[in-house]
Amino acid sequence: MPELPEVETVRAGLEPVLRGRCFVRVEQRRRDLRFPLPERFAERLTGRRVTRLGRRAKYILVHLDRGEVLAMHLGMTGRFIVSKPGVADGCTLGEFESEHGKDAKHDHLVFTMSGGAVVTYNDARRFGYMTLIPERALEQDAFFAGLGVEPLGDELTAAYLAKRALGKKVDLKAFLMDQRIIAGLGNIYVCEALFRAGLDPGKPAARLATKTGKPVPSAERLAAQIKAVLADAIRAGGSTLRDYKQADGSIGRFQNELSVYGREGGSCVKPGCRGSVRRKTQGGRSTFYCAVCQR
């Protein structure tokens, strides 16, 4: 379940093996992931040099010479395994195979880079996707055109939340999950941010704003806590719950710091609160919250 902190961690892990390197060989084992891969995908990548790596929402952007960008979304279970021939990923060959061999059938793409690194994209559920987009048309691309603001950027403010929430009947959970409003949040960090802000996930989004669209205090808390929880998670290398791993195979540490997500029945961690963590379903997804201190 890679969300922004996990995607950012993977991006940072790929940077040293991709940046400045060329795609020497591209092995494409399937015609499609979630969507069909681009026409002549391997051919168009081969020989291209990576100029830099970026991120937009939950997409890793690999900028290439000659003006194209390889945009990659990890979906639910997408991950990269970095290895070098004969080195086997910094662990013994046995460790590498026992770790990775069992689901090698889900290795869909294998990139061999100049410098010798082999980067394998593995995705059991194939909710991930990749596409090649002309750099100058990135913002107009169908995947990117409708995306909302970056939560860690200056554009996410209480005023922005209030403006977008004005008149919205959806609950706060759905509002924050909507990539057209804020790009990069998913179930885990929406639950965590609402907990930290002390807000009920079932409350209508419109309550973030006054009748004239000005932010109320809870909008201030929410904007601040979204940024705080994402920054904390990036610092910890993301959360590893089921499938996510960093590019070097290590797991994240933030799952140990989650306040509500996955803690159904546990006691509320807020000092002085006697509540316990509950779970309910919103929009077909589990929401974890404390009914006592989230109002």
Partner DNA sequence: AAGAACTCCTGTTGGC
Partner DNA sequence: TGCCAACAGGAGTTCT
Q: How far is CA 83 from CA 59, 112, 113, 229, 288, in A?
A: 22, 10, 11, 31, 37
What is residue 270's three-state secondary structure?
A: coil
105 is catalytic: no
Among 125, 235, 274, 295, binds DNA (CB under 7 A): 125
* Short-list 213, 118, 193, CA closest to 152: 193
Q: Does 238 bind DNA (CB under 7 A)?
A: no
Among 11, 48, 56, 58, binds DNA (CB under 7 A): 58
Q: Does 6 bind DNA (CB under 7 A)?
A: no
Among 24, 76, 91, 110, binds DNA (CB under 7 A): 76
Residues forming beta bridges with residue 50, ordered by sequence position: 64
Tell me how crowded residue 252 is: count the other CB atoms within 10 A of its CB. Answer: 21
Nearest-angstrom CA–CA distance, 40 and 19: 23
Q: Does 8 bind DNA (CB under 7 A)?
A: no
Q: Does 228 bind DNA (CB under 7 A)?
A: no
* Distant-in-sequence, close-in-space partners of 276: CB < 8 Å, separation ≥ 6: 265, 266, 267, 268, 290
Q: Output 103 or 135, the one with its CB closest to DNA.
A: 103
Q: Does 283 bind DNA (CB under 7 A)?
A: yes
Among 1, 17, 71, 132, binds DNA (CB under 7 A): 1
Q: Does 103 bind DNA (CB under 7 A)?
A: yes
* Distant-in-sequence, close-in-space partners of 39: CB < 8 Å, separation ≥ 6: none
Residues 161-200 binding DNA (CB under 7 A) are: 168-171, 174, 177, 179, 186-188
Q: Does 45 bind DNA (CB under 7 A)?
A: no
Minimum distance of DNA from residue 204's CB (angstroms): 8
CA dihedral 147, 151, 157, 158 (to 10 degrees): 90
∠ Cα 203 206 207 (to 5°): 60
Site residues (vs DNA, CB under 7 A): 1-3, 34, 57-58, 73, 75-76, 103, 105-106, 124-127, 143, 146, 168-171, 174, 177, 179, 186-188, 242, 283-286
User: Catalytic residue positions?
Assistant: 2-3, 58, 285
